Amino acid sequence: MSVNRNVFKLWAPDWLIKGVLIFCMLHCMVLLGIYSSNMTYSASFLDVETEDLQFAMSLTYGTFLATLMVESRIFKFFPPRNYFIGVFLCAALTFIASAYTNDYILFCVLRVLEGVLMALPWVPLRILLLTRFKSRNATILVFSFTYGMLLMASPFIMSIVVWLLDNYDWTFMAYGSAFFQLLCVTLILLTFNGNRFHRKTPLYQIDWTSFILVHAAIICGAFVLVYGEKKYWFQSPQIVIATITTCITSSLFIVRQLLQKRPFFDLSVFRYPNLRTGVVLFILFYISRSTLNICHVTMSKVWDWEPSRIANLQYFNVAGDFIGIIIAGILMSKRFPTRYIFVIGFTLMAISHFWFTFLFVPDVSFYSISLPYVLQGIAVGILFVPLVLFVVSSVPSHFAPYAGTMGASGRFWGNTIGFSLMQNIQVILQQNHITKLQQSVIAESPEIQNRIAQATQSFVSKGFMPDQAYVLAMKQLSGVLKKQAILLSNMEIFTFMGFGLLIVVFLLLINRHLRQSFDIFKNRIWGS
């Protein structure tokens, strides 16, 4: 079949084509955000631990990363219409299957499939959308819009998930997601013709060995980070085996790419300092974002907030994201130096962390915490799209796919490292605070001793034996101390993160590579 880059039906107006492409890109948001929007809430309904859900998410995004490296070859084998229809139909089937999945292993297998299905349409849809814009700032517009949607999808999806689970059950959410995929199929049939966008390339030339190696390295590395603390790190044979597997598969992958004439992933992309800088900033960006999960846990376990209330609070974060994306778009269109956009964003992120430290008290109002949520959203919105564009534009055009993969890798490892880091720090700090509180408060405070005696008497009056009543009173006090320990550890984490972000800002200001990077960035984006 001959190549005809006009893959849309002639009758379809431009506004409809853009709308269909944007709507179909929401497919990725659904797959990524359906479980990640509120991990604690989703884990409770799936009857798994938070770590299990985090690992399942790592399976999805890790598979997404690996699939990005072969996606273009698969896309070029099929006409776009057939390609997208196949992806969306398979996604619908995985959602329906997940509605009847009680086994965690099968659930993980489905998450791997969803990672493949999330990666396959993302870049082709974005490329097709870019071809519909003719303005000089088309790249900025498309990236701001598409990645803005990706950023803001989770709160909206969370609200839908909470409502469905409160009023119906898990199967309705799965069927709703499947219906969305079928709607994408309908729109594709309506607006796409059978023309090819690229010349057909055979699938047998794909380096599946490299795919398996990098996929295994990513997944095993994520397993170590997610389960390390829970399994006491290298005391666990599983952690040891996963670590060894990560090292071996990573080494084999690197050696294979160095020896191949046409590598699966060209490692020479790392020669560009701005790419290295951009990936590091991406990782730091997502680590700083991971602190919001601490807030969600506090809302649930300390302040006893309903899931719907937590979901509603996130709309303030979305409002901030929206404001930040607009600010970033204006600054980039005016060719404001990238380095200073990063400085503004990370500074606002630091301020939001310091603000949060004053709110970790036994009780806090909804609107008191909504303001730093807005500020954090503004910071995220300012940083996200410029970071994506900075990474992608940091290398020559023929390296752009590899740079895009590295940007996605920064997101993956930032999220995974952030989860592991916060988990481990929380456990250590909370245990230290509980020990100190038990030693100083219980032993030395007459007021606490009086409260224990009153609680014991209360349980005795309810029919418990004195020994049982005392144990229950101590458990009640232990719960109070645990909540206090959570608040104290949160204050320390957010303070530490705030100062860490200020160090990032300082390094951004003095980094000589970033002083010169805007010229490169400008040439890549605006062609001047």
pLDDT tens digits, one per residue of 493-516? 899 999 999 998 888 887 665 555
Cα 451 from chain centre? 44
Instruction: Tell me the HSE value of 516 on the side-chain side, using a 13 A CA sphere.
Output: 5
DSSP string, 210-253: HHHHHHHHHHHHHHHHHHTTTTTGGGSHHHHHHHHHHHHHHHHH
The mean pLDDT of 383-403, rounded to a whole number, is 77
The mean pLDDT of 366-378, rounded to a whole number, is 87
Number of domains observed in the structure of the chain: 4
Across 39-43, 126-130, 398-402, 456-460, least confident range: 39-43
pLDDT value of residue 309: 79
Query: At residue 519, does pLDDT exceed 60?
Result: no
Computed over its alpha carbons, how large is the radius of gyration of the chain?
Answer: 25
Q: What's the CATH number where 372 sits?
A: 1.20.1250.20
More confident residue, 142 or 216: 216
The mean pLDDT of 220-235, rounded to a whole number, is 83
Q: Which of 325, 352, 277, 290 is nearest to 508 (CA)?
A: 277
Specify whether 479 is located in the same domain as 384: no
Residues 6+ apart with CB under 8 A from 404: 68, 123, 391, 392
Mean pLDDT of the chain: 77
Residue 481 and residue 422 in contact, taking contact as beta carbons nearer than 8 Å: no
What is d(CA 195, CA 199) in angstroms, rounded to the nearest whole number?
Answer: 10
**What band does 164 get if pLDDT is binned at 50, 70 and 90?**
low
Specify whether 105 is located in the same domain as 4: yes
Torsion region of 9: left, alpha or beta (phi above 0 gives left; psi -120 to 50 gives alpha): beta
Inter-axis angle of helices 138-167 and 170-191, nearest 10: 140
Specify whether 33 is located in the same domain as 99: yes
What is d(CA 110, CA 141) in angstroms, rounded to the nearest whole number?
Answer: 34
For the chain, counts of helices (H) and of strands (E): 19, 0
Specify whether 200 is located in the same domain as 63: yes
- Owning domain of residue 150: 1-207
Q: Which two tokens stand for residue 363?
A: 């009780």
C-alpha separations of 56 from 51, 274, 434 in Å: 9, 32, 31
pLDDT value of residue 350: 93
Query: At residue 523, does pLDDT exceed 60?
Result: no
| Domain-terminating residue out of 183, 207, 231 | 207
Q: What 3-state class would DSSP assign to 12?
A: coil
Locate tokens 């600010």: which residue? Answer: 327
Query: At residue 351, does pLDDT exceed 90?
Result: yes
| Domain-terminating residue out of 182, 207, 232 | 207
User: Dihedral, CA atoms, 177, 180, 185, 187, nearest 10 degrees?
Assistant: -170
Specify whether 472 is located in the same domain as 502: no
| Domain-terminating residue out of 263, 290, 306 | 263
Long-range contacts of 97-104 (CB under 8 A, 24+ apart): 98/174, 99/170, 99/171, 99/173, 99/174, 99/175, 100/171, 104/48, 104/52
What is d(CA 374, CA 382) in angstroms, rounded to the nearest whole number?
Answer: 12
pLDDT value of residue 463: 62
Instruction: Indicate the burial class of 124 (C-beta count within 10 angstroms; 0-12, 13-18, 19 or more).
Output: buried
Specify whether 259 is located in the same domain as 165: no
The mean pLDDT of 246-253, rounded to a whole number, is 90
Locate tokens 């709703």: which residue? Answer: 176
Percent of the chain residues topping a pLDDT of 70? 76
Residue 191 and residue 18 in contact, taking contact as beta carbons nearer than 8 Å: no
**How confident is the model over 304-336, as pLDDT tens digits?**
787 777 777 878 888 888 888 888 888 877 778
The mean pLDDT of 62-79, rounded to a whole number, is 82
Specify whether 442 is located in the same domain as 511: no
Cα 349 from chain centre? 17
pLDDT value of residue 211: 85
Q: Measure the CA angle with vertex 367, ends 39 and 356; round to 5°.
A: 65
C-alpha separations of 159 from 138, 171, 307, 377, 412 in Å: 32, 16, 9, 17, 24
pLDDT value of residue 347: 93
Q: Across-strand partners of 3?
A: 196
pLDDT value of residue 2: 47
The mean pLDDT of 293-297, rounded to a whole number, is 80
Max avg pLDDT among 119-128, 209-218, 222-231, 511-520: 209-218
Cα 477 from chain centre? 36
Specify whether 75 is located in the same domain as 143: yes
What is d(CA 318, CA 262) in angstroms, rounded to the nearest whole number?
Answer: 43
Q: Which two tokens stand for residue 354?
A: 């310091």
Torsion region of 304: left, alpha or beta (phi above 0 gives left; psi -120 to 50 gives alpha): left
Instruction: Indicate the burial class of 123 (C-beta count within 10 angstroms; 0-12, 13-18, 19 or more).
Output: middle
Q: What 3-state class would DSSP assign to 8?
A: strand
| Sign of torsion over alpha carbons 229, 313, 356, 509 | positive
pLDDT value of residue 528: 44
**How confident is the model over 29-38, as pLDDT tens digits?**
666 655 554 5
Specify whether 138 is located in the same domain as 153: yes
Query: At residue 52, does pLDDT exceed 90?
Result: no
Across 102-106, 418-422, 460-464, 524-528, least confident range: 524-528
Query: At residue 348, does pLDDT exceed 90?
Result: yes
**How confident is the model over 432-472, as pLDDT tens digits?**
777 776 666 655 566 666 666 666 666 566 666 666 665 66
**What band does 1 get if pLDDT is binned at 50, 70 and 90?**
very low
Specify whether 377 is located in the same domain as 516: yes
Specify whether 99 is located in the same domain as 229: no
**How confident is the model over 118-152, as pLDDT tens digits?**
888 878 887 887 777 766 556 666 666 666 666 66
Q: Which of 391, 369, 387 is nearest to 379 (CA)?
A: 387
Specify whether 192 is located in the same domain as 43: yes
Q: Which two tokens stand for residue 490?
A: 């949160």
